[in-house]
Amino acid sequence: MNGWAALEIGINIYQGFLLIYFINRVTHAAKHPLWIDCTSVAVISLFLSSYLFFEIPFIDTVVFIIPFLHSLIVSRDRWYAKLFWSAVLAVVTIETITIVSNLLMNTAGVSWDTLLGENQYRILYLLSSNLSLFLVLFLTAKLFGGKRTVTVSSFLVFLVLNALQLFSIELIFKVSTENGIVNLNLTAVSICIFLASVVSLVLYELMAHTTLRRQEAEAKLQLLQQSQNHQTELRNMYSAMLQSQHDLRHRYRILEELIKQNSLNSEKTRSLLQEGKPDSVTEDLFFTGSTSVDALLTAKKATMDAEKIRFEYVPYPLSVLPIAEMDFCILLSNLLDNAVEAVRRIPQSADSRAVCLKFARSQDNFIVICQNDYLPSGIRKEQHKYLSSKPDRFLHGYGLESIKNTCEAADGSCTVMHDDRKFTVRIILPVQEGSIQNNA
């Protein structure tokens, strides 16, 4: 292998690195071993280097299938998003190299065959095209690689646009090389196609930004609705307590009259005493050490009682919370709302319609476990996200995402598990020095 072949192979390795770098930046790439990136770079460089030694019957544009396959392995995006960014990569790369080669041929007055030969023009072409490619891919990934998404229909439109641009640039390149045409008109057309690609990416970014703002508005609206529901539950609970207090006063007056009449041994007296026992008044109240959590659990249990859902709670003192009390209440509210929604779909004639909530402490970790019965057919997932089964998904479906965001903000974790009957959410929050102290 001579020095020219070594130079070409080195350039091919460099280009493979750029292509994989771009895909990792613009897609939702999960954490993955370094050897996957190295393997993809090696496959790309081997494919491009094979043209140095063999006559291959198809064009080198097919090399962009490799970054697409790489995205299928490392990215959490849907297939059409991966295909879109692979198409963008192909268009931007080919357009950049085409524009640089056309400008160089027009400026130096050389042909495409000259740029492929072993001469100083080849070196100038390799250096200028790859430097330009680095700048274009880096800036594209920096400006448009916000890893935001748009709707499926929008993705497909942008995918078609990039496919048409790719077809056009390949056609221009074929015409210019096969017919030996080197003029500024083809260069101007190539630049116009490149600018059209930039405009399409700008439109994509604007639509992605709009989609993000809409999702944030939906999340805020859902949070406001949740707060309103919680306030309604508290008002209902307060009304029930006032009614209970009124009934107790009524029983007290009757007992006073019976005492005056010396009728304490009557059946009516025993009935009133039985109905007014303290256990019947306090059995639905919670005493965790956090007043806000007490009110929340009491309200949620009232909702479950109305839905004929059994609520199993394992008592645990909450004098110390791992996060702010309000954030903890929002987390619990989301957990229990999701659980109640899942159980509500189970027919009331079923054997088990229950929600179980447990708190625990393990060294420096606070653990929350919420488990509920559910119908497996009610689970809907998209991109590792659990979606609401309610018809008005505009207002619902952010509960688990809000829980996960709260956990991540506190350096904790949220694990979702389910089998044929039970749906379990396990939350682990680190308890650090200076955690919130509650006044019981």
User: In this predicted model, what pLDDT tens digit does every residue of 297-308 receive, in sequence order?
Assistant: 888 888 888 888
Range 164-169 average pLDDT? 81
Q: What is the pLDDT of residue 179?
A: 66
Q: What is the pLDDT of residue 419?
A: 82
* Residue-wise pLDDT tens digits, 75-119: 878 888 888 888 889 888 988 888 888 888 888 887 777 887 888
Q: What is the pLDDT of residue 1?
A: 56
Helix boundaries (H) for 60-119: 65-74, 79-108, 112-116
Confidence of residue 426 (pLDDT cuts 50, 70, 90): very high
CA-based nearest residue to 346, from 356, 337, 354 = 354
Range 332-357 average pLDDT? 88
The vertex-311 CA angle with 307 and 312, nearest 5°, equals 165
Q: What is the pLDDT of residue 433?
A: 58
Domain formed by 285-437, architecture:
2-Layer Sandwich (3.30)
Dihedral-angle region of residue 149 (phi above 0 means left; psi in -120 to 50 means alpha; beta otherwise): beta
Give the three-class secondary structure for 60. helix
CA-based nearest residue to 88, from 205, 209, 198 = 198
Q: Where are the domains of the chain?
A: 3-220, 285-437
Give the three-class secondary structure for 90. helix
User: Percent of the chain at pLDDT above 90?
Assistant: 16
Q: What is the pLDDT of residue 113?
A: 78
Confidence of residue 269 (pLDDT cuts 50, 70, 90): low
3-class DSSP string for 367-432: EEEEEEECCHHHCEEECCEEECCCCCCCCCCCHHHHHHHHHHHCCCEEEEEECCCEEEEEEEEECC
Range 315-333 average pLDDT? 84
Cβ–Cβ < 8 Å for 369, 360: yes
Confidence of residue 371 (pLDDT cuts 50, 70, 90): very high
Helix boundaries (H) for 261-324: 267-275, 278-282, 291-306
Q: What is the pLDDT of residue 272?
A: 57
Q: What is the pLDDT of residue 157?
A: 81
* Residue-wise pLDDT tens digits, 120-147: 888 898 899 999 999 999 998 888 776 5
Residue 250 pLDDT > 90: no
Confidence of residue 263 (pLDDT cuts 50, 70, 90): low
- Choose between 269 and 239: higher pLDDT: 239
Give the three-class secondary structure for 356. strand
Distance CA 47, CA 119 (A): 23
Q: How many residues does the chain have?
A: 440
Exposed, middle or buried: residue 327 (CB in 10 Å: 0-12, 13-18, 19+)? middle
Pairing of strands 354-362, 310-314: parallel
Q: What is the pLDDT of residue 438?
A: 54
Strand partners, 386: 381
Distance CA 141, CA 127 (A): 21
The distance from CA 412 to its chain's CA centroid, rounded to whole angstroms, is: 17
Average model confidence (pLDDT) for the chain?
79
